[in-house]
Structure 1
Amino acid sequence: MKATIIGVPMDLGQNRRGVDMGPSAIRYANLNKKLEEIGVESEDKGNIPVSIPERNDMTGKTIKYPEQIYEACTLLAEQVADQAQEGSIPIVLGGDHSIAMGSIAGMKKAKGEMGVIWIDAHSDLNTFETSPSGNIHGMPLAFSMGCGESNLKDCLEKGQKVKPENTVLIGTREIDPGERELIENTGVKVFTMYDLDKLGMNRVMEEALAIVTSGTDGVHVSLDMDSLDPMEAPGVGTPVKGGINYREAHLAMELLAEKKCLSSIEVVEVNPILDHRNSTANLAVELIASAFGDRVL
Structure 2
Amino acid sequence: MKLSIILAPYDSGLYHAGFGQGPDAIIAGGLVDELALRGHDVIVEDIGEVGDAQRREIATGFAVCRAVANKVDMARDDERFPIVLAGNCLTAAGAVAGDAADSIIWIDQHGDLNTPETSAYGFLDGMALATTLGLCWRPMTSAIPGFQAIDPSRCMLVDARDLDPDERRLLDTLPIIRAQWTDALDNVGKLKAAGAAQVHLHLDLDVHDPDVLQVNRYALPGGPNPEQLRQLVCGLAKSIPIVGITLSAYDPAFDAKGEVPPVVGQLLGDFLAAHARI
Q: Same fold per TM (> 0.5)?
A: yes
List gaps (5 residues or longer) in structure 2: none
| Aligned residue identity for 1:101 | A
Q: Deviations along 1:122-180, whole A, 9 cap, x unmatched?
A: 01111111112211111111111110254233242587421111110111101112212
**CA separation of 1:152 and 1:35: change in aligned 2, threshold 3 A:** same
1:276: Cα distance to partner? 2.6
- In 2, distance between residues paired with 1:182 and 1:158? 26
More off after superposition, 227-236 vs 24-33? 227-236
1:266: Cα distance to partner? 1.0
Matched, 1:72 2:64: yes
- In 2, distance between residues paired with 1:7 and 1:139? 21
**CA separation of 1:210 and 1:234: change in aligned 2, threshold 3 A:** same
1:272: Cα distance to partner? 0.5
Identify the residue that residue 38 of structure 2 maps to in structure 1.
38
1:215: Cα distance to partner? 2.4
SS of the equivalent of 1:270 reads coil
| Aligned residue identity for 1:169 | L
- In 2, distance between residues paired with 1:210 and 1:187? 11
| Aligned residue identity for 1:6 | I
**Contact map agreement 2:199 2:243 (CA 8 A) in 1:** yes
- How many residues in Structure 1 have an aligned counterpart in Structure 2? 273
1:212: Cα distance to partner? 5.0
- In 2, distance between residues paired with 1:91 and 1:137? 19
1:2-13 equivalence runs, <5 A: 2-12=2-12
| Aligned residue identity for 1:118 | W
Identify the residue that residue 243 of structure 1 maps to in structure 2.
223
**CA separation of 1:233 and 1:212: change in aligned 2, threshold 3 A:** farther
Identify the residue that residue 98 of structure 2 maps to in structure 1.
106
1:288: Cα distance to partner? 1.3
Identify the residue that residue 181 of structure 1 maps to in structure 2.
169
- In 2, distance between residues paired with 1:2 and 1:276? 32
Identify the residue that residue 110 of structure 2 maps to in structure 1.
122
**CA separation of 1:159 and 1:44: change in aligned 2, threshold 3 A:** closer
Identify the residue that residue 27 of structure 1 maps to in structure 2.
27
1:248-263 equivalence runs, <5 A: 248-259=228-239, 261-263=241-243
**CA separation of 1:284 and 1:152: change in aligned 2, threshold 3 A:** farther
CA RMSD of aligned residues (A): 2.4
Identify the residue that residue 142 of structure 2 maps to in structure 1.
154
Matched, 1:167 2:167: no
**CA separation of 1:117 and 1:181: change in aligned 2, threshold 3 A:** same
**Contact map agreement 1:4 1:44 (CA 8 A) in 2:** yes
Identity score, percent: 26
- In 2, distance between residues paired with 1:148 and 1:262? 25
**CA separation of 1:174 and 1:77: change in aligned 2, threshold 3 A:** same
SS of the equivalent of 1:172 reads coil
Matched, 1:269 2:269: no
Q: Deviations along 1:88-112, whole A, 9 cap, x unmatched?
A: 111000112121111112112xxxx
1:214: Cα distance to partner? 5.2
Q: Deviations along 1:234-263, whole A, 9 cap, x unmatched?
A: 121311111112221011122123236221
- In 1, distance between residues paired with 2:272 and 2:193? 17
Q: Deviations along 1:177-209, whole A, 9 cap, x unmatched?
A: 2212221222111114xxx4xxxx3x4223236
**Contact map agreement 1:228 1:245 (CA 8 A) in 2:** yes
TM-score (ref. length: structure 1): 0.84
SS of the equivalent of 2:90 reads helix
Matched, 1:216 2:196: yes
| Aligned residue identity for 1:135 | F
**Contact map agreement 1:164 1:187 (CA 8 A) in 2:** yes
More off after superposition, 218-227 vs 248-257? 248-257
- In 1, distance between residues paired with 2:113 and 2:164? 9
TM-score (ref. length: structure 2): 0.89
1:83-98 equivalence runs, <5 A: 83-98=75-90
1:225: Cα distance to partner? 0.6
| Aligned residue identity for 1:41 | D
